[in-house]
Amino acid sequence: MRFDEDTICAIATPIGEGGIGIVRVSGPDALAIANKIVRLRSARPLESVASHTLHLADIVFSDSAPTGSGSECDGQIIDEGLVVYMSGARSFTAEDVVELQCHGSGVVLRRICEACLAAGARLAMPGEFTKRAFMNGRLDLSQAEAVLDTIRAKSEAGLRVAQRHLRGELSQHVDALRRRLLSMLAQVEAGIDFVEEDITFIGRTELVTSLQEALDQIQKMLVTAKVGRLLRDGARVVILGRPNVGKSSLLNAFLKEPRAIVTNIPGTTRDVLEEQVAWDGFRLTLVDTAGLRDSEDVVEQEGIRRTRAAASEADLLVHVMDATELLGQPAVTPLREDPGQEILVVNKIDLIDGSAAERLVETIGRVTGRETMSISVRTGFGLERLQEKMVSRLSKGSAESTDGLIVSNVRHRSALERAAGALSEALTSTEVNAEAECVAVDLRDAADALGEISGAITTDEVLSKIFSEFCIGK
Ligand SMILES: Nc1nc2c(ncn2[C@@H]2O[C@H](COP(=O)(O)OP(=O)(O)OP(=O)(O)O)[C@@H](O)[C@H]2O)c(=O)[nH]1
Ligand SMILES: [Mg+2]
């Protein structure tokens, strides 16, 4: 059943000047509407052209919507362009679609859109084309989300994840798991129905094994969620340390431009500065901060407060220190509990003797249990190695998991977490010989949570939320 009977139109390309721009029309009247505003140069009526073929045409604004063959309509020519009709059998929305490709001018595109509206179309809502594709069964929900992830991909790695989801690999995996849960549920429920006759359809031990297997699979997917988020949204790397150690110099070196002010006065940086870089297909936001120290200065105090706030949101801390300061007292307090989230960096290594530097780095590493590296922003020593280390820290786990599926979407992660929660409940109930009904309820919850990922189980509220994030025209 069609979820909507009206025909929608929208500008599908970004606003602004461009080589070409596209207006999309989709719905049962797409052809009839386009017919009113398109005059093919071949003088053929649009209805007569083969699906998925391009045709040169004048696109006109017809004030008096003509009846009969639109190809003969009068009206003011808006632009010339290429028109393609895609029949519902093979279109993105699974409805009849006409795309009008013209010159990429905001004026032209708006005018064409107005012409479509005058001819009977309605302006599409954000994501409505993709929503129709979902409603008409062309895509499942996780694939529809992958369309958005593709449009928004910030890095090649993020794009690769989105593309795998778009091809439906995630849903296939999750659906297979859901079918297994449903079949377990059927057996548990059958056991409930026949309890009087003392027939068991599935043994407790067998059920425990199956539940445990399913739970393991979900947990494996959840492990990929962290790296999935980094691939999708990029990672935040916060550079911090005491004043004057060379934090801003390091940021500038990474950016290859003098973005932050560098002076030999401690307390130069007062504010949090951030810039983005793409390293090895990864998107990183590098954040420079105010040096940490006790200060009476109100402005500096606020800067330090912001530094701490930035640090708490970091995926990775680059904790910079000054080699000359450390020589006297190599006391270093790590800032993060998790050693994986902090790299200790001894800067200004050019100012101390080579063997002293080696000993210093070794001592700090041993005492703190944190990976410690020496660099000199001044000479460039160690910068490349630091950069490689940062990327490998952030992508840890992705090398092995890129071959498997990566969960990159918060909604998917939360559904998987709920499924895992319900499954562990089911597992506990089974192990303690609880009523089969209890097991059944949890199994049902787990299967439903998995069903939310592909949209087999969904609510209007969830759908509106997902599609409202799309742009108009997609
Ligand atoms: N010799 C030497 N000097 C450096 C190196 N890196 C930075 N400096 C100098 O150290 C001083 C402080 O550098 P900044 O980058 O401003 O230090 P910061 O950590 O951002 O300082 P605040 O913003 O005050 O917290 C400047 O004079 C830099 O030129 C280095 O590798 N070797
Ligand atoms: Mg600074």
Say whether pLDDT at 32 is over 90.
Answer: yes
Give the pLDDT band (50/70/90) at residue 299.
very high
User: What is the structure's pLDDT at 280?
Assistant: 80
The percent of residues above 90 in pLDDT, for the chain, comes to: 66
Say whether pLDDT at 390 is over 80.
Answer: yes
For ligand 1, the distance from its centroid to the CA atom of residue 392, given in whole angstroms, is 26
User: What is the structure's pLDDT at 256?
Assistant: 95
122 Cβ partners below 8 Å, 6+ apart?
6, 7, 8, 9
pLDDT digits (tens, 9 = 90+) for 335-360: 888 888 999 999 999 999 989 899 99
Least confident of 13-17, 32-36, 60-64, 248-252: 60-64
**Dist CA 420 CA 201 (whole Å):** 24
CB-count exposure of residue 201 (10 Å: 0-12, 13-18, 19+): middle
* Radius of gyration of the chain, Cα coordinates, nearest whole angstrom: 30
For ligand 2, the distance from its centroid to the CA atom of residue 345, given in whole angstroms, is 15
Mutation probe of ligand 1 site: the residue of 301, 324, 377, 386 with most atoms within 8 A of C-beta: 377
Say whether pLDDT at 43 is over 90.
Answer: yes
For ligand 2, the distance from its centroid to the CA atom of residue 296, given in whole angstroms, is 18
User: What is the structure's pLDDT at 68?
Assistant: 44
**Dist CA 76 CA 123 (whole Å):** 21
User: What is the structure's pLDDT at 67?
Assistant: 46
For ligand 1, the distance from its centroid to the CA atom of residue 246, given in whole angstroms, is 3
Q: Is the CB of 245 under 6 A from ligand 1?
A: yes
Least confident of 198-207, 383-392, 440-449: 198-207
User: What is the structure's pLDDT at 458?
Assistant: 86
Handedness of CA 84, 87, 88, 89 (dihedral sign): negative
Least confident of 3-12, 176-185, 194-203, 304-313: 194-203
Place of tokens 């990566």: 406
pLDDT digits (tens, 9 = 90+) for 180-209: 999 999 988 887 766 555 556 677 888 999
pLDDT digits (tens, 9 = 90+) for 107-156: 999 999 999 999 999 999 999 999 999 999 999 999 999 999 999 887 78
143 Cβ partners below 8 Å, 6+ apart?
134, 165, 166, 167, 168, 171
pLDDT digits (tens, 9 = 90+) for 65-102: 444 444 445 679 999 999 999 999 999 999 999 999 99
Among the bound ligands, the one closest to the CA of 323? 1
Give the pLDDT band (50/70/90) at residue 399.
very low
Mean pLDDT along residues 269-291: 91
